[in-house]
């Protein structure tokens, strides 16, 4: 019977910072895409779906 092996991984602070930076950049890009799509969409369904939330957060749409 073989003894179980435990894989050890080491993470440097540079790897952690790079991961957090990538996650932050992706969140910003995703947010800009969402706001850009809803804010400039000519589809009435999209506008009406976001209308009340946008006004509640003081984001003008007219």
The predicted-structure confidence for 10-40, as pLDDT tens digits, reads as follows 667 888 898 999 999 999 999 888 888 877 7
pTM metric for this prediction: 0.52
Q: Is residue 47 within 8 Å of 41, Cβ to Cβ?
A: yes
Q: Hey, CA dihedral for 46, 47, 53, 57, is it positive or negative?
A: positive
Host domain of residue 37 = 23-62
Number of domains making up the chain:
1
Tell me how far apart the 2 most distant CA atoms of the chain are, in Å.
Answer: 72
pLDDT category, 62, cuts 50, 70, 90? low
What is the rounded CA–CA span in Å between residue 38 and residue 58?
A: 15
15 within domain boundaries: no
Q: For position 20, what pLDDT does the model report?
A: 94
Indicate whether 11 belongs to any domain: no
């Amino acid at each position: 019977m073989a003894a179980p092996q435990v894989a050890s991984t080491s993470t440097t602070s540079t790897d952690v910072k790079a991961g957090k930076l990538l996650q932050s950049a992706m969140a910003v890009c995703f947010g800009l895409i969402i706001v850009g799509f809803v804010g400039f969409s000519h589809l009435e369904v999209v506008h009406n779906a976001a209308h009340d939330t946008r006004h509640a957060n003081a984001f003008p749409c007219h």
